[in-house]
Amino acid sequence: MAVADWFTVARAAAAPFVVLLFEWDFPNHDYWATALFAVAMATDWFDGQLARRSGRTSALGSLLDPVADKLLVLSVLIVLVGQGIFEGWIVAAIVARELLVSGLRLAALERGRVLQARDLGKLKTWAQALAALLGGLAAAGAVDKTAAWWALLVALVLTWLSGLDYARLAPSLLRNPAPAAGAEAGAESTFSSKPASRQTLS
With 60 as the cut, is the pLDDT of residue 35 above it?
Answer: yes
Q: Tell me the domain boundaries of the chain.
A: 3-174
Tens of pLDDT, residues 92-141: 999 999 988 888 777 777 777 766 666 787 899 999 999 999 999 999 99
Residue 159's pLDDT band, with cuts at 50, 70 and 90, is: very high
Interval 26-51 mean pLDDT:
88
pLDDT attached to residue 56: 62
Residue 189's pLDDT band, with cuts at 50, 70 and 90, is: very low
Mean pLDDT over the full length of the chain: 80
With 60 as the cut, is the pLDDT of residue 188 above it?
Answer: no
Residue 36's pLDDT band, with cuts at 50, 70 and 90, is: very high
DSSP the chain: --HHHHHHHHHHHHHHHHHHHHHS-STTHHHHHHHHHHHHHHHHHHHHHHHHHH----HHHHHHHHHHHHHHHHHHHHHHHHTTSS-HHHHHHHHHHHHHHHHHHHHHHHTT--PPP-HHHHHHHHHHHHHHHHHHHHHHTSS-HHHHHHHHHHHHHHHHHHHHHHHTTHHHHHHSPPPPTT----S--S----TTS-----
Interval 142-157 mean pLDDT:
96
With 90 as the cut, is the pLDDT of residue 147 above it?
Answer: yes
User: According to the per-residue pLDDT averaged within each range, which of 5-9, 42-46, 84-88, 178-182 is highest?
Assistant: 84-88
Tens of pLDDT, residues 46-95: 766 666 676 666 666 667 788 889 999 999 999 999 999 999 999 999 99
pLDDT attached to residue 45: 80
- CATH numeric code, 3-174: 1.20.120.1760
Minimum mean pLDDT among 72-76, 122-126, 144-148, 187-191: which range?
187-191
